[in-house]
Chain A
């Protein structure tokens, strides 16, 4: 390559700088102001927004909801994903067809998926109708109406949506385990469980790490499902951090304050990404 080839970088550099880097710097700056998005005038208030965040009960709730969803979904999706992957690994010719079925929800838009589940989980929806028809009217519940149930429903939807993805990650990991190790284990009289515990599990640690980080990252940014299923309600009890940022900014015109929350989320995501990059670099070796 020659020196003048720097022109190769120019289009990407210009687009990325104007529409990504400058807005990010803008968000950092806005987070130090009290701008409401409407008036021309605004004041630089320093770290006031960040101090306000400490006493913001609504934000604290959004953080708790996000953590609940992240924890529940990451654990479930990784345990179930690994379990189904182990079963699938022994399914012979059926692997491909089954894999495709489990993976399908991952390619469909989250908004569409949320509407499907809304029709199932709402009070007059599919699930309650079936329960009624089966004479189990006593277990009918409002899966969306109160905060606790709604958060559980959101978790179920996210588990269903991302299970296939994590299962495929695990399946790929499991298939890299050399057959000889299992044979050696059999020679030593190892049972099926021991094979899993002492051969499969230690061999797929990098795969587990990636899969867990991926699920954490996805759920930390959760927005779409909450928007369709509960709209953050009742009240603001099911708001996630991203949902909170968007509503504070575009619903309540607190552009400065919402930017401060976004910067806070950025700091957390950045730390997780650095861990992720470290881990995937190790994997390549």
Chain B
């Protein structure tokens, strides 16, 4: 009986499903346009922008990769270094700080919580002028490690907030047992807390990692480091109407993130929305 009802429901939903698929196809058109046009010469793009690329050509991508003025691998290297070290660094310092704040119920820890949270209300654009001035004075412009530190500082508020909430929800019994066994705070943190907060680490890593990878203004203004996002912006400049080149750059900039997304859709969606709601 239940089965029959379900089948009826299914049939009733068929028009809805068709509508949704059409909607999704329409929605995905800009992505389709990007993918097919990477493999067409600019002339063909201008005359027939939505036709399939037959025969597909690789000229756009090879010309971008071989352009002596543009070093795509250098851009990738910078972006990877920033994302990897920035996110890891931020996770380490923030989870440590959050552990203290979550476990110590003192006036100081209460103050520190508010102090770290303050960064969440700040539009980041406010710090650019002082930071650029600081970087110029200290001759740090173009220095990758200092730029990574800036990225770490920018994500500390969010990460502390997330970890504090998560650690606060963990029962203390395991820790208390470990203390009786004579374990140090650091051992407890590494061996007990960090494994327990893995879901939180996934969320934070995706949220701050993606924002670091995609950030445009920070690497452009502070440090003037060519990440992939800044790199394609400056590289496209002279070719803005050469659509083949534009699409090739767009593909290069989005491919790593898209591949990661395809393999971990659920984590990406959960991480970005959970992060947004709480942060």
Contacts and interface: CB of A to CB of B under 8 A. Distances in A.
Interface in A98-137: 98-113, 115-120, 122, 124-126, 129-130, 133
Interface residues of B, number: 93
Contact of B254 (A108, A119, A124, A163): A108
A249 interface: yes
Contacts, number: 257
B20 to A, nearest CB: 6
Contacts of B278: 280
A265 B125 CA distance: 9
A12 B253 contact: no
Given A92-B10, A262-B123, A265-B126, A101 B254 contact: no
Interface of A is mostly: helix
A228 B269 contact: no
A235 interface: no
A160 interface: yes
A96 B103 CA distance: 38
Contacts of B216: 109-111, 223-224, 227
Interface in A1-28: 1-2, 5-6, 8-9, 11-13, 15-16, 18-24, 26-27
A26 B133 CA distance: 10
A148 to B, nearest CB: 22
B265 A100 contact: yes
Contacts of A168: 269, 273
Contacts of B221: 246, 250
Interface in A48-71: none
A269 interface: yes
B236 interface: yes
Nearest to A221: B123
B194 interface: no
Interface in A256-285: 258-259, 262-263, 265-266, 269-270, 273-274, 277, 280
B185 A9 contact: no
B211 to A, nearest CB: 10
B2 to A, nearest CB: 14
B39 interface: no
B4 interface: no
B273 A262 contact: no
A84 interface: yes
B156 interface: yes
Nearest to B159: A12
B22 to A, nearest CB: 11
Nearest to B96: A8
B232 A104 contact: no
B265 A18 contact: no
A111 B156 CA distance: 24
A24 to B, nearest CB: 6
A15 to B, nearest CB: 5
A115 B250 contact: yes
Interface of B: 10, 13, 16-17, 19-21, 23-24, 27-28, 30-31, 33-34, 37, 46-50, 92-94, 96-97, 99-101, 103-104, 108, 112, 115-116, 118-134, 149-150, 152-154, 156-157, 160, 185, 189, 210, 213-214, 216-217, 221, 228-229, 232-233, 236, 240-241, 243, 246-247, 249-250, 253-254, 257-258, 261, 265, 268-269, 272-273, 276-278
15 contacts: A6-B100, A6-B108, A11-B93, A23-B134, A27-B127, A100-B265, A100-B269, A101-B27, A109-B253, A118-B246, A221-B124, A223-B217, A224-B216, A259-B129, A273-B120
Complex A-B, nearest 9 residue pairs according to Cβ-Cβ distance, in ascending order: A26-B130, A19-B153, A23-B130, A12-B97, A109-B214, A273-B121, A23-B127, A12-B93, A126-B49
